[in-house]
Amino acid sequence: MKAFVTGGTGFIGSYIVKGLVEKGHSVVIYARNPEKVSGFLNNDSISFVQGTMADTKNFAEGVKGCDAVIHVALAWGNTPHEMLENETLPSVRLFEAAAEAGVGKIIYTSSIAAFGTAPNTDSGFVKPYDNYGATKAAAEAYLMAVGGNRKTKVNVVRPGYTFGNPVVEGAFMYTDLKIKNMVKKALAGESMEFDKNDGTQFIWAGDLAKIFIALAESDLDRGYYTGVSAEFREWGQVAQMAVDVTGSKSQVIFHDTGRKAPEGLPIDVSQIKEAFGFSFSADAHMVDHLKYLAELYR
């Protein structure tokens, strides 16, 4: 399989590219700076097309001869109009270019922000509460429309809170400021305070990449797949992990603000379980990530 990956030199994209290559596939990375990730250079399975999401004229040439398009890149804006112009419109043009070129599969990177406060199922229902969620929901809808009028199979992945270390030499990592501060405070021996029952279902970027790759290798069509682990962790629990891995004497203090503990899993993960048998745990990877940050900040 030959896959065209936008944002392939970014955090999540680099995990996807590495995973595809390891499974014997070839990858065309669409990136602003092809030399950004040294670990991807001089690899016979990886080629590059240079451009930004605003350079929509490059899409047709880039997707030519590809079997799948995995759209990961994100273009930001500060207003609804800017998000529409910078993110939604280029995404739609990419979907159209891929379908017109005869690409068999398109996978779009959305977000759990698309369903916002709506039911947390993989039915495709959306109720965003900010511009980011709105633009993701809009692109999802356009993708389904493009797939509905062509033979192209289309699917949406909705990642949740994703973390991880750099996956190859020169690649980027992403971690929330909260987690960075936890490690720094643990190293300094400072106490940390959190609201009880405030947390989420984290996912390691390597596990998230498995969903994209499994979809690219499948014949599934018009599905929505939420990418989070099958465990809820409070922020204070992550802070305690940071204390433990650093050998810190920091105290982790929980405040009961009336927030109720979730009943079961707040975010549904049934689709990835039913489709691929995936049920992810983030704890061990989070410990590795905290150790990496601790070495970085010592």
pLDDT tens string 69-93:
999 999 999 999 999 999 999 999 9
pLDDT recorded at residue 144: 97
Q: State the residue for tokens 């511009």.
A: 131
pLDDT recorded at residue 81: 95
pLDDT recorded at residue 174: 83
Task: Please give the mean pLDDT across all residues of the chain.
Answer: 95
Distance CA 293, CA 298 (A): 9
Query: What is each CA distance from 137 to 142, 176, 212, 266, in whole angstroms?
Result: 9, 23, 18, 20
pLDDT recorded at residue 120: 77
Using alpha carbons, select from 81, 107, 94 the residue that is nearest to residue 12: 107
Lookup: tokens for 116: 């916002």
Q: How confident is the model at residue 175 (pLDDT cuts 50, 70, 90)?
A: confident
Using alpha carbons, select from 163, 239, 245 the residue that is nearest to residue 201: 163
The residue extents of the domains of the chain are 2-162+203-227
HSE-CB of 168 using CA atoms within 13 angstroms = 20
pLDDT over threshold 80, residue 283? yes
The values of phi and psi at residue 61, to 5°, are -70, -40
Q: How confident is the model at residue 124 (pLDDT cuts 50, 70, 90)?
A: confident
pLDDT recorded at residue 117: 74
Range 187-216 average pLDDT: 97
Per DSSP (E only), the strands in 177-246 are 192-195, 199-200, 203-204, 223-227, 233-234
**Are the beta carbons of 70 and 212 closer than 8 angstroms?**
yes
pLDDT over threshold 80, residue 119? no
Sheet with strand 46-50: strands edge to edge: 46-50, 26-31, 2-6, 68-71, 105-109, 153-159, 223-227
Beta bridge partners of 195: 255
Range 46-55 average pLDDT: 95
Lookup: tokens for 239: 């802070």
Q: In terms of CATH architecture, what is 2-162+203-227?
A: 3-Layer(aba) Sandwich (3.40)
Range 224-252 average pLDDT: 97
